[in-house]
Amino acid sequence: MAAPSEIRLKRAEQALDVAWADGARFRLPAEYLRVESPSAEVQGHGPGEKVIVPGRRHVGIMRVEPVGNYAVRIVFDDLHDTGIYSWDYLRTLGVEQDTRWATYVAELGARGLSRDPPPRA
């Protein structure tokens, strides 16, 4: 997969805008990127090990760092920074955004979890 033609961090919108030379464009919210992180912490080490990450409604992106010529590392303000988002994975997240998001929200509901962070004591 070719590199995106543009990656733009939209801090105020808590999103990443990603565009490709073929005209595909996606706005990927920080919360979505965080809960779909390609890290082992979220994806696990094998099929069926994916972790549902609750409480990230207000997560933001602190910075986006290039990783070679094939990916970016996203550093979130909850200090999660271990996911390497390859160009293929970013494109997949854009194409499958509606389906993946609906599945995530349904999983939260099924487990009695929330997108909102727990109240502070």
Tell me the domain boundaries of the chain. 6-110
pLDDT at 103: 96
**CATH level 2 (architecture), domain 6-110:** 2-Layer Sandwich (3.30)
State pTM to two decimals.
0.94
Return the structure tokens found at 90.
């970013």
Q: What average pLDDT does the segment 15-38 reach?
A: 97
Q: How far is CA 21 from CA 5, 50, 92, 103, 119, in A?
A: 6, 32, 16, 29, 43
φ/ψ of 25, rounded to 5, equals -140, 140
Distance CA 54, CA 118 (A): 9
Look at the alpha carbons of 97, 102, 103, 108 in this order and tell me if their dihedral is positive or negative. Answer: positive
- Between the two ends of the chain, the Cα-to-Cα distance in Å is 46
pLDDT at 47: 81
pLDDT at 48: 82
The SS3 assignment for 95 reads helix
The vertex-32 CA angle with 17 and 37, nearest 5°, equals 100
| pLDDT tens-digit map of 32-89 | 999 999 998 899 888 888 889 999 999 999 999 999 999 999 999 999 999 999 999 9
